Structure formats: structure tokens, C-alpha cells
């Protein structure tokens, strides 16, 4: 057994840890610093994210979205998005699916 809130917080960027994977789904924990890399994502698969702790501002297809603990977002494949800002220690649960989720 492991505990999601005991993972160390990176000094910069984000750390991605795969928690579970099969041929259709990948579940990962993401731990963010307060200086995320503003990479633009345009993925071939759907992604659902739940913000567990902290806070974040995302840019999703031209719209800024504020997220706090308990907020959930489902991003269909090929939805351009990036992380603009995070509070240090923000933790996410992300689910990547090869079949539609959203």
C-alpha cells in the first residue's frame, strides 16, 4: 500500500507516477511545484483529471479554468490544454483512456 499525499513535491515542474495501467487505461498521480512547465498538450486520447489537493489554473481550448480540491475535468482527445499556474504541492489524479471517457 502507498499513500498519495506522502510523495515529495518537486522544486520545479511536475512529477508523473503511473499508479495502474492496462491496455485501455492509465491512472497516474501528478505532483506539481509552483512553477509548472506551460507545455501545450494535444493528446490522441481522452484524459480525466481530479484535483485532489492545492489549486491550479488551466488553459483549455482558449478558456482559463480555475480548479480547486475536488474539481474534475474531462478533456476529449485533441483538446488543446496547458497548466498555467499551480500552488506548490498540488496533487492530481489523471486517467488516460484509449476509449472515449468524455
What integer pLDDT is reported at residue 1 of this predicted model? 67
pLDDT digits (tens, 9 = 90+) for 37-52: 889 999 999 999 999 9
Give the mean pLDDT of 53-58: 98
- List domains and CATH numbers for the chain: 4-97 (2.60.120.10)
Buried b (16+ CB within 10 A) or exposed e, 5-28: eeeeebeeebeeeeeeeeeeebbb
Flag whether the pTM goes above 0.75. yes
Amino acid at each position: 500500500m502507498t499513500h498519495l499525499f506522502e510523495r515529495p513535491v518537486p522544486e520545479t515542474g511536475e512529477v508523473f507516477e503511473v499508479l495502474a495501467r492496462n491496455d485501455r487505461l492509465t491512472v497516474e498521480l501528478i505532483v506539481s511545484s509552483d512553477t509548472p512547465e506551460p507545455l501545450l498538450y494535444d493528446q490522441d486520447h481522452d484524459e480525466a483529471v481530479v484535483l485532489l489537493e492545492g489549486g491550479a489554473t488551466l488553459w483549455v481550448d482558449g478558456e482559463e479554468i480555475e480548479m480547486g480540491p475536488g474539481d474534475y475535468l474531462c478533456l476529449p482527445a485533441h483538446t488543446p490544454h496547458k497548466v498555467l499556474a499551480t500552488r506548490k504541492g498540488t496533487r492530481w489524479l489523471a486517467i488516460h483512456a484509449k476509449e472515449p471517457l468524455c
